[in-house]
Amino acid sequence: MATPALGAGAQLFVIDPIDRLKPAKDSSVALMQAAERAGRPVWIASLADLSAAECPGLLGGRGHGAWVSATPVTCQPWYGLGEPQRLPLEAFAHVWMRKDPPVDEAYLYATHLLELAERHGVTVINRPAALRAWNEKLSSLRWSHLMAPTLVASRVAELAAFTAEHGEVVLKPLGGRAGQGVVFAAAATPGLGALLELVTGMESLPVMVQAFLPGVSAGDKRILLVNGEPLGAVNRVPSGGAGGEFRSNLAVGGQPEATELTPAERAICAELAPALQAEGLFFVGIDVIDGRLSEINVTSPTGIREVERLAGIPLADLTVEKLGRG
């Protein structure tokens, strides 16, 4: 049986439930709508819709390889659903892995299923092996010279010594997202030891601790790179307020503002680009604070809508254009 023809350049987006996506803010929606504008049929699926089979008599003689129960969707206006179909992943020109973290067991197993499809010639964005390898906090350590002073450790004594050395620090859980669980601490913080016990789960999990950068008050810049090229950026300014909120993530109240890239930020992008390209990280969002690399976001980077609105850059359309003719 031949691979079904779904239309030129059909795109599959593996996402969270579509009714939870917010079209005014969500980067996945922006990409889906851009694909539709480019004449590329758009389909959606969840992690649970992915499967693999190795049974020649199954599914009309095509009982092998990676499969998906996918649903066609019209994206403008947002949204309309067609009838689900069971299809080989080979039927799609590109598969976008846009499921939000956490990177849990279900997520990891899905990357293995997508990797099976990749071995059959399917282009997965971002590459499944890279999604597993590039923890969004730890991957930055490949370029530690671009970062603020940083330690990753589980032992309270090591973390406390680092805090004493630098005075003020930020503690980051390695599996966190959108600023969740990020904590400011100082050497003089009462109960610092107890706090370090809490964030490490009594020394059972490593955490990242970084010297606090006061320049974060001026913003945390999200830079979106497509195939290694920076196409746009948005500055996210902490809300501050009575609680002294230092986190700039939009999900915790940070305010987006238009921005331009500095020469130093362009140099960071240029240094990262060869590794991103080599490892199949097509759509990436890096975070830069006061000229220092903070994170490399690869699972489901956000920021498209803010760049489009504040800078007038059609970033989603440019991203789809860079897919080429496939």
Is pTM beyond 0.85? Reply is yes
CB 285 within 8 Å of CB 272: no
Q: How far apart are CA 303 and CA 250, in angstroms?
A: 9
Residue holding tokens 């649903």?
71
Q: How far apart are CA 233 and CA 289, in angstroms?
A: 13
Q: What is the pLDDT along the chain (326 residues), one digit of tens a residue?
A: 456 668 779 999 999 999 999 999 999 999 999 999 999 999 999 999 999 986 555 554 455 689 999 999 999 999 999 999 999 999 999 999 999 988 999 999 999 999 999 998 899 999 999 999 999 899 999 999 999 999 999 999 999 999 999 999 999 999 877 667 788 999 998 999 999 999 999 999 999 999 999 888 888 999 999 999 999 999 998 766 445 556 555 555 568 899 999 999 999 999 999 999 999 999 999 999 999 999 999 999 999 999 999 999 999 999 999 997 54
By annotation, the residues acting in catalysis are: 137, 172, 222, 236, 247, 287, 295, 297
* Strand-pair partners of 295: 287
DSSP H helical ranges for the chain: 27-37, 105-119, 128-133, 156-166, 192-199, 263-278, 304-311, 315-321
Angle between helices 156-166 and 192-199 (to 10 degrees): 130
The DSSP H or E segment spanning 289 is strand 283-289
